[in-house]
Structure 1
Amino acid sequence: MSPELSPIDRAKYIAARRSCDFVESGMRVGLGTGSTAAWMVRRLGERIRDEGLEIVGVPTSTRTADLARQLGIPVSTLDEVKWLDITIDGADEFDETLNLIKGGGGALLQEKIVATASDRMVVIADVEKEVRTLGAFPLPVETIPFGWQTTKALIEETLVNMDVLNRETTLRMNDDVPYVTDEGNYIIDLHLKRIGNARQVALVLNQIPGVVENGLFIDICDAVVIGRSDGSVEVRDLTAGTVAREHLDVLDSDNIFAEKTD
């Protein structure tokens, strides 16, 4: 790892590296999507190469699958493995009860399917992803392309009765054309600023015709690993009710992190 990384990227790397300690040989592992998850995938590749770690990875996007194959991680599908021991993924926001907003990278549908088909979901994030109330990050809603403008209008109409601060919605674009997910769908981003009742919003959105899934992950995450640029890391395990704080030292001489306990 290069010492030239920005503070945010260093924090992401620290969280990703620590999260890989949850992975043991023989596990079926859900591989998340996004910049933080990419660090995790690289670290698992290192462990396979250097430690002989034996796992099967189930990627949540084509780009994660491509990266995993490049790093020598055996890749399978959820249909083939049926169930996963653990999924490790990033998040755009998380609150104190480990409810999440995900989908900034456009892979929310596969991410939610894989996470819910796992014994445990571990989220990796830098400290800036933690919020008191979800909603500052735009909430992605995946919709089918057919009639998307009608679906968008129905979403806006539904939001009138929701406990949210703002109701602006936009179609996610890729330059001058709509962004298309791996499943061939569109994403409508909801700029809500604050979500008062995330559970209600998640349930109501999924009742709208044309909506495939939304980026609210409620009661899915079991633990979060929070990295900071100074090398400190915090592991909050909701299931066990524990909080552990550790430190990872940057060794510029060989550009790796060596773990130690405070």
Structure 2
Amino acid sequence: MSSCDTCPSKGTCNEQECSKTFPKNGNIKNIIGVISGKGGVGKSTVTGILATQLAKNGYKVGVLDADITGPSMPRVFGINNQRAQAIQHEGTEEVKFVPIQTEGGVKVMSLNLLTEEEEQPVIWRGPLITGVLNQMYTDTIWGELDYLLIDMPPGTGDIALTIMQSLPITGMVVVSTPQDMVSMIVKKVVIMIEKMGINLLGVVENMAYIKCEACGDKIKVFSKKPSEEHAKYLGANLLAEMPINLDMVESLEQGKMESFIRESKEYDELYNNFVKELNK
């Protein structure tokens, strides 16, 4: 089956250009996309949590920051002051990127690791962004990986379509917040995943509540509806209901989120359900 067979735009585009796939990488066993229909729901945070948990459990993990215009994975892992190296590959003229490895052993590649300053904006049109994404995936020296997690930009635009068409995606994780407005927008991504014939592993309902420090009760923030109801509307399994955790936010601001996640048991449910769905 070609990549165009499952594309909702089949027959209406330039298939010769659209159907170009990225070169296969036999060293990567599983490619997992983390996506949402809306920005600001914690997609990069969920990517960081899953990557950290996988590495903690002995897997070789890489993270590709595919949100070219809004990359944030270096900040998530506290490596934003480091820069990836570009080297000539084995005496040839080919340039390869050496990813930054976190304290927990996760290999990370992001455009923010290739620019002089992380605040430098990317003011590019779609085709150039797609080309850079291809280069970061293909020309990064990933080595042997059990999992490559792709932190995708929000929405159903060019990058999302390119990744779903051009890479052998093992499964997709969708991130949302329990709000009707957000669920409506995220539903578009869920439908896109289904139309592309990709395995939807489930949805993470993020920022669903705050836990009272005095009594331990869950205080709903955005909606009185249970997260299960929002997941049912999306037509996806609920992987986890995650709280607003100010301690985790503080650890992220200090560049120590990876160690915080490794020491916490709060995210075990997300990891266990992720592995369960992946092994079905």
Interval containing the TM-score (normalised by the shorter chain)? 0.3 to 0.5
- Indicate the structure with greater helix content: 2
- Indicate the structure with greater strand content: 1
Query: Quick one: higher RCO (CA 8 Å, sep 6+), 1 or 2?
Result: 2
